[in-house]
């Protein structure tokens, strides 16, 4: 797999609404924001602990006040970052115990039967009898919902193709310790295997096919807020002009 899929699951909430986004985004130099770099570092902490690579030390003992260069940002690890990682690790371990399942960390998933250009890496997958749990860590503060979350549904399809069957229940979970959500930092949503597969072939495939057309259509809207190609997009420019009168 290449480092970045053309149809990245994390950007699916954009390209499923605007088919032109993926190809246009190829003209934008790869760039990471400081919050994203911060999130990458927290994911590294989580992976080290879940893969039991920390012997005779704690997250604080190893990471607190440590400086790391992530995508050219010098980030100093603070207690808030460590607490974020701990919340996620504690939940994953608890859920693995509850399900008596096998835990996969940073598992690559793909949905070749729907699109060869759509693949990614799931933070955690727990495989248990008749249930697959996909657990995603979000380190930002903007609340993210698990219900109908296209990124998690794509990860779920990839996990289902490899580890499940038609009797599997997919459990999609967001762990977001820094968000102030009425339902708390951990939110889950269940969907049956058949419903998820129906969504994949009836809705997701249509969206992926639309993105791969020679001249895909552009559609501006609220989803443009998170699009890294909007500065190059004439459709977005016109949308903003119309919005501002």
Report which of 34, 30, 28 is spatially closest to residue 72, judged by C-alpha positions.
Answer: 34
- Does residue 239 register a pLDDT over 50? yes
- Does residue 1 register a pLDDT over 90? no
Per-chain mean pLDDT for the chain? 95
Q: What percent of the chain has pLDDT over 70?
A: 98
Tokens, residue 186: 């951990």
Strand partners, 85: none
For residue 99, the tally of other CB atoms under 10 A from its CB is 17
Which phi and psi (to 5°) does residue 87 adopt?
Answer: -60, -45
User: Going from the N-terminus, what domains does the chain have, and what CATH number goes with each?
Assistant: 31-234 (3.90.320)
DSSP for 81-110 reads HHHHHHHHHHHHHHHHHHHT-EEEEEEEEE
Confidence class for position 47, pLDDT limits 50, 70, 90: very high
Tokens, residue 105: 């960390």
Distance CA 77, CA 42 (A): 9
Confidence class for position 3, pLDDT limits 50, 70, 90: low
Tokens, residue 158: 């990839």
- Does residue 103 register a pLDDT over 70? yes
Distance CA 17, CA 14 (A): 5
Strand partners, 126: 103, 133
- Does residue 2 register a pLDDT over 50? no
């Amino acid at each position: 797999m290449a480092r970045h899929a053309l149809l990245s699951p994390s950007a699916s909430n954009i390209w499923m609404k605007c088919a032109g986004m993926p190809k246009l985004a190829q003209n934008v130099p790869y760039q990471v924001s400081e919050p994203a770099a911060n999130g990458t570092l927290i994911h590294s902490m989580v992976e080290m602990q879940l893969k039991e690579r920390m012997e005779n030390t704690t997250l604080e003992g190893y990471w607190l006040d440590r400086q790391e260069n992530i995508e050219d940002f010098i980030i100093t690890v603070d207690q808030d970052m460590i607490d974020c990682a701990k919340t996620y690790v504690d939940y994953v371990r608890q859920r693995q115990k509850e399900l008596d399942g096998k835990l996969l960390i940073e598992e690559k998933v793909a949905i070749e039967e729907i699109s060869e250009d759509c693949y990614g890496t799931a933070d955690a997958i727990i495989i248990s009898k008749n249930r697959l749990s996909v657990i995603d860590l979000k380190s930002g503060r903007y609340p993210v919902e698990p219900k109908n979350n296209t990124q998690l549904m794509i990860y779920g399809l990839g996990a289902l193709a490899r580890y499940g069957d038609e009797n599997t229940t997919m459990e999609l979970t967001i762990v977001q310790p820094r968000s102030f959500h009425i339902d708390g930092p951990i939110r889950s949503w269940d969907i049956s295997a058949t419903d998820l597969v129906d969504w994949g072939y009836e809705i997701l495939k249509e969206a992926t096919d639309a993105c791969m057309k020679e001249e895909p259509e552009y559609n501006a809207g609220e989803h443009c807020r998170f699009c890294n190609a909007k500065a190059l997009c004439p459709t977005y420019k016109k949308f903003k002009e119309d919005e501002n009168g």
